[in-house]
Structure 1
Amino acid sequence: MAAPDRTEHPLFGPLVLVGGLVFGFGLAYSHMARPEVVLDFLQFEDFGLPFVMFGAAIVTGIAFFLVPRIRDRAPMTGDAYERRLKPFDRNVLIGGSIFGVGWGLSGICPGAAYASIGIGNVTILWALVGMFAGAYLQGVWRSRSQDTDATAASAD
């Protein structure tokens, strides 16, 4: 499937960078880029993480509610606002469970892992290597299973 042909606003890249900087700074400032803080939350010893997540959910919820009422298209890409619903199926349940186990073992989620490097936690690189390897292996597995499904469908 080819990517849609569109022209992005010239400020798209810089604004994404600024958003990433704000996100990373916020994670570091709230100490969520430190695996031990996340592990303390998972052990019910520190409840700062839900407050950080709640703050992010409020901002996102307001944006998702208001922006489509103010504008009919995204200002940077020109794409129409639309809901993309993903069904809650077996893949979501299994993938989410695997993600949760990895998060619990490493004490870090992908976004916070990059911010963790920014605060000097270079040992988190092992977790990042594991994330990339896991994503790569899942991609190989998915492409092989799709090839198998296509072969079976053409044999029918």
Structure 2
Amino acid sequence: MRRVLSALAIGLVFGVGIVVSGMANPAKVLNFFDVFGTWDPSLALVMASALAVTFLGYKVVLQRPAPVLERTFHLPAKRQLDLPLIGGSALFGIGWGIAGFCPGGAIPALGSGQSSPITFVGAMIVGILLVNGLGALSARRRALA
């Protein structure tokens, strides 16, 4: 139960930060990409701040022998770049540039009552299900071969 409450609290803090910084507003995000028009550098400031906090947080937290609510740290084991990572990153960036939403901004924006974040999150869920289904199908084919 402590893990669930911890995840809820962390999600709420993240969501509030997204809303307060304006990153739940797709127009603000899209203005960041409009370098020769109505450019708004605030997204870069939000990202730089997040990177600084994350960098310092990892330095402090990884000094501990174990996390507070887990037995071990769960860090990525893969270090190499591969096609799924690069393709997924490109797809993420293209979608973000077109819609003005990323998952972190779209989920808090669901509370706005507007249809665009609902459409985005729905499409994101369909995409996740498709990728998972294709991955399972590919694994099944490899097992049969």
The answer, yes or no, to whether TM exceeds 0.5 is yes
Structure 2 match to 1:57: 51
Equivalent-residue separation in structure 2 for 1:125 and 1:42 (angstroms):
22
Give the superposition deviation at 1:11: 2.4
Q: Which of the residues 6, 21, 28 maps onto 2:19?
A: 28
Equivalent-residue separation in structure 2 for 1:99 and 1:80 (angstroms):
26
Moved more, 56-65 or 114-123: 114-123
Contact 1:74 1:81 in 2 (8 A): no
Amino acid across the alignment from 2:9: V
Equivalent-residue separation in structure 1 for 2:74 and 2:141 (angstroms):
35
Give the superposition deviation at 1:42: 1.5
3-state SS, counterpart of residue 60 of structure 1: helix
Which residues of 2 match residues 62-101 of structure 1 at below 5 A? Answer: 62-69=56-63, 71-80=64-73, 84-101=77-94
In the alignment, structure 1 residue 134 sits paired with structure 2 residue 127: yes
Equivalent-residue separation in structure 2 for 1:145 and 1:85 (angstroms):
20
Q: Structure 2 stretches of 5 or more lacking a match?
A: none
Equivalent-residue separation in structure 2 for 1:132 and 1:86 (angstroms):
27
Number of equivalenced pairs: 142
In the alignment, structure 1 residue 144 sits paired with structure 2 residue 98: no
Which residues of 2 match residues 31-46 of structure 1 at below 5 A? Answer: 31-44=22-35, 45-46=39-40
Runs of 4+ residues over 4 Å off in structure 1: 80-83
Structure 2 match to 1:5: none
Q: Sequence identity, in percent? A: 30
Give the superposition deviation at 1:76: 0.9
Give the superposition deviation at 1:81: 6.4
Amino acid across the alignment from 1:34: N
Given the superposition, is the C-alpha separation of residues 81 and 97 from structure 1 closer, same or farther in structure 2, using an over 3 Å criterion?
A: closer
Q: Structure 1 stretches of 5 or more lacking a match?
A: 1-9
Which residues of 2 match residues 6-25 of structure 1 at below 5 A? Answer: 10-25=1-16
TM-score normalised according to structure 2 size? 0.89
Given the superposition, is the C-alpha separation of residues 81 and 72 from structure 1 closer, same or farther in structure 2, using an over 3 Å criterion?
A: farther
TM-score normalised according to structure 1 size? 0.83
